[in-house]
Amino acid sequence: MGTQAAPAASEIAAVGVIGAGQMGSGIAQLAAAAGCGVFLLDSDPAALSRAVASISSSLGRLVSKGQLSQVNPLASPASQIRAKVTPFVDISSLAWSQAACDDSVKRIKCVSDVQELRGVDLVIEAIVESEDVKKKLFVELDRITKPSAILASNTSSISITRLASATSRPSQVIGMHFFNPPPIMKLVEIIRGADTSEEVFSQVKSFSERIGKTVICSQDYPGFIVNRILMPMINEAFWALYTGVATKEDIDTGMKLGTNHPMGPLQLADFIGLDVCLSVLRVLHNGLGDNKYSPCPLLVQYVDAGRLGKKRGLGVYSYR
């Protein structure tokens, strides 16, 4: 296999993020705030415009609360790394201010051609949760990126081993699962595929820590750790609604006040995206073969109707 030594975490200076939706925009923000040059790619130009607006607003909120230091270890040697893409800013000398936020945004280059990612050290894929679509992208990434580049997927559930098998460098393919919203949620779940090298695992772990995250490790099982536990709860909330146990408001209030969750499960499903929830449940159902993961018909119907949640203005609730 034509692999080369992957870059050390401290040498990860240029990052490609593919998919500029809810997750990709937040991941690009984290990498840029840590001093990396970022290429943010989406097939939809409108998604790129929305991503830049949301990154600017999120950085502004974090800096106004003095919370940016949590995601930007400015004092660490990693922050001295010079981004290999232009525009270049040496963030080590900057205090976090609105100007520093603006500089982070400038480190993000929005692109529409995957060829632009040929020089990056790490790619984090955050496109639609479909194995076929992701595999096609991994084939292309394998062809285009330099041999030493690490190819990571932010998939919520899909086998990393199968994504890696689409490439000629399975030892450099890994799952890097962020949580929504990435700038706020402190976790990254790392998933080794069958052939992921220890070196790549430790580089991705160090990089995740460099951008301020706590790391947990999962074997390559459907839904990994968190979604295997979270999605059945969300699905059960849909069953409770579907079978008339209670109103959506009472289901959510019950779980918020009764179990101290920040959001009720139906509100959380809207926040995640009902399409993502359905895709994850289908991967769990197909992969683990237990009917308890079978998606509730109401969830299926909402997705069929285009009610994808907050991102589309309508899901279980209306956001219009």
Applying CB under 6 A, which residues contact ligand CAA? Answer: 58, 61-62, 65, 156, 179-181, 183-185, 227, 230, 262-263, 268, 272, 276
202 is in an annotated binding site: no
The DSSP-derived string for 122-185 is: EEEE---S-HHHHHHHHHHHHHHS-TT-EEEE--SSS-HHHHHTTSS-GGGEEEEEE-SSTTT-
Residue 249: active-site member: no
Residues of this chain that interact with ligand NAD (CB under 6 A) are: 18-24, 41-44, 47, 126-129, 133, 137, 154-156, 178-180, 272-273, 276, 311
C-alpha torsion sign, points 53, 58, 60, 61: positive
In three-state secondary structure terms, 28 is helix
* Separation of alpha carbons 176 and 279, rounded Å: 18
Which residue lies nearer to ligand NAD by CB, 12 or 47?
A: 47
Cα maximum dimension of the chain: 59
20 is in an annotated binding site: yes
**Which residue's CB comes closest to ligand NAD?**
21
Residue 227: active-site member: yes
Which residue lies nearer to ligand NAD by CB, 131 or 236?
A: 131
205 is in an annotated binding site: no
Residue 185, contacted partner among ligand CAA, ligand NAD, none, CB below 5-8 A by kind: ligand CAA
Other beta carbons within 10 angstroms of residue 198's beta carbon come to 9
291 is in an annotated binding site: no
102 is in an annotated binding site: no
In three-state secondary structure terms, 217 is strand
Which residue lies nearer to ligand CAA by CB, 36 or 272?
A: 272
List b or e across 167-180, with b for residues whose CB sees 16 or more CB atoms inside 10 angstroms: bebbbbbbbbbbbb
Which residue lies nearer to ligand NAD by CB, 19 or 264?
A: 19
Would you give the DSSP letter of residue 34?
T
- Type of residue found at 280: V
Which residue lies nearer to ligand NAD by CB, 170 or 309?
A: 309
Residue 199: active-site member: no
Q: Which of 25, 157, 227, 235 is catalytic?
A: 227
> Which residues does residue 314 pair with via DSSP β-bridges, in sequence order?
309, 318
Closest separation in Å from C-beta 90 to ligand NAD: 31
129 is in an annotated binding site: yes
Reported residue count of the chain is: 320
C-alpha torsion sign, points 21, 23, 27, 30: positive
Closest separation in Å from C-beta 5 to ligand CAA: 30
Q: Where in the sequence numbering do the catalytic residues fall?
A: 156, 177, 189, 227
Extract the annotated binding site for NAD(+): 19-24, 42, 129, 134, 156, 180, 311
Extract the annotated binding site for CoA: 58, 65, 156
Extract the annotated binding site: 19-24, 42, 58, 65, 129, 134, 156, 180, 311
